[in-house]
Amino acid sequence: MARKIDELARITNLRAVPKDGLFGSPFAAGNLDGFLVKAGYTRLGNQAVTAYRVRFKANTWAGDVEMLREAAAGSEALKEALGRKKVPGTLVKALVLEPDALVLNLTYSFVSPRPAKVAAILKALVGLARTFASPIGTACESCGSEAGARVFLADQVPVSVCAGCRSTQDAEAVRQEEDYRRMDSNPFLGLVYGAATAAVLALAWAGVAYAVDRIFAYAAILMGSAIAWMVNRGMGKINLQGRILTVVFTVASVMGGHYLFLLFAVARLKELPISFDLAMTVARVFPTVAFAESTGVLSFVFSLIGAGYVLYANRPPKFRKAFEPLGN
């Protein structure tokens, strides 16, 4: 894709931005006739798309998304760009209007559209933006100053900002970050919530497994995520301690549930009452038995996936934007 992006950047006179991180895609970005744009090939879920973002001066769009769609349906530039007599209804419906941007993700299958086509669509979208909204031009988007504003990628989105506003924004971000750091967390409540959830889920899981006589390894994902969520709820702000607690509780809950299931099953099979001796006997063979079958290993892995997912989703907020000069 990088070669296509290079070509797209060349045709449109934009900057080619290499892919960011493992899941990022390369794109072309910069100032196109006063609008700050970004276009490239990427994926949305399982769907391959060409993605377009045309940023205009915030809150200057006159009209609503219906008017935009009507204009898009009748746009000669768009028809020409697509090489069609009619703008497809799917494209018209896919147009999204944000307070400062016109956004389009256009799905394609098999063959990715040529850069020339992507460039033409992007230019047609800029044309549409021009009829409804004011361009950003070369002014700073925060203070309106014409002097010293430059185009940056702020978390991968092109913005025009001057040096003064950038340092003000940085200072503000640092302040928010410190406020967050000072926020209280309640490790004790997190511990109580996590332990209670882990115990209840272990019992419930064992109960269900006993009733139907099989272990549902997949349910462990839910157990892990529920425990992580509850530890989070209890703690308020999660920290390293909370993360460790979550993983410990999750493993304990799944292993505990597994153990209880085994204990109940042995008692039923041997027609024995549940006693301390029986519990000890089962505990001795449990490590061997639990991991002898794939379900034991699977539920262990799944529970960690569940907990990991929630921990990731509840990671501390990011305050500072990564500013990167785009150089145009």
Residue 118's identity, in one-letter code, is V
Nearer to Zn ion, 132 or 323 (CB): 323
Distance of CA 279 to the CA centre of its chain: 45
Shortest spacing between CB 141 and Zn ion, in angstroms: 8
Q: Is residue 162 a contact point for Zn ion (CB under 5 A)?
A: yes
Answer yes or no: are the C-beta atoms of 49 and 39 closer than 8 Å. no
What is the total count of residues that contact Zn ion (CB under 5 A)?
Answer: 6
Whole-Å CA distances, 255 to 132, 218, 224, 262, 279: 60, 14, 12, 11, 14
Nearer to Zn ion, 142 or 241 (CB): 142
Answer yes or no: are the C-beta atoms of 198 and 190 closer than 8 Å. no
Q: Is residue 168 a contact point for Zn ion (CB under 5 A)?
A: no
Q: Is residue 174 a contact point for Zn ion (CB under 5 A)?
A: no
Nearer to Zn ion, 152 or 300 (CB): 152
Shortest spacing between CB 223 and Zn ion, in angstroms: 50
Query: In this chain, which of 165, 202, 217, 223 binds Zn ion, going by CB under 5 A?
Result: 165
Q: Which two tokens stand for residue 264?
A: 């109940």
Shortest spacing between CB 317 and Zn ion, in angstroms: 24
Only segment of 61-69, 71-79, 164-172, 303-311 that touches Zn ion (CB under 5 A): 164-172
The C-alpha atoms of residue 240 and residue 245 are separated, in whole angstroms, by 9
Nearer to Zn ion, 13 or 167 (CB): 167
Shortest spacing between CB 174 and Zn ion, in angstroms: 18
Nearer to Zn ion, 96 or 143 (CB): 143
Site for Zn ion in 275-314 (CB under 5 A): none
Shortest spacing between CB 14 and Zn ion, in angstroms: 23
The C-alpha atoms of residue 224 and residue 257 are separated, in whole angstroms, by 12
Nearer to Zn ion, 143 or 244 (CB): 143
Shortest spacing between CB 152 and Zn ion, in angstroms: 12
Distance of CA 236 to the CA centre of its chain: 22
Nearer to Zn ion, 145 or 241 (CB): 145
Shortest spacing between CB 328 and Zn ion, in angstroms: 18
Site for Zn ion in 230-249 (CB under 5 A): none
Pairing of the two strands 101-107 and 149-154: unpaired
For 182-212, the three-class secondary structure string (H helix, E strand, C coil) is HCCCCHHHHHHHHHHHHHHHHHHHHHHHHHH
Nearer to Zn ion, 162 or 238 (CB): 162
The C-alpha atoms of residue 311 and residue 84 are separated, in whole angstroms, by 48
Residues 6+ away with beta carbon under 8 Å from 87: 72, 73, 74, 75, 78, 79
Answer yes or no: are the C-beta atoms of 235 and 189 closer than 8 Å. yes
Instruction: Decide: helix, strand or coil at residue 17.
Output: strand
Distance of CA 205 to the CA centre of its chain: 30
Shortest spacing between CB 235 and Zn ion, in angstroms: 39
Site for Zn ion in 39-98 (CB under 5 A): none
Site for Zn ion in 122-151 (CB under 5 A): 140, 142-143, 145
- What are the residues binding Zn ion (CB under 5 A)? 140, 142-143, 145, 162, 165
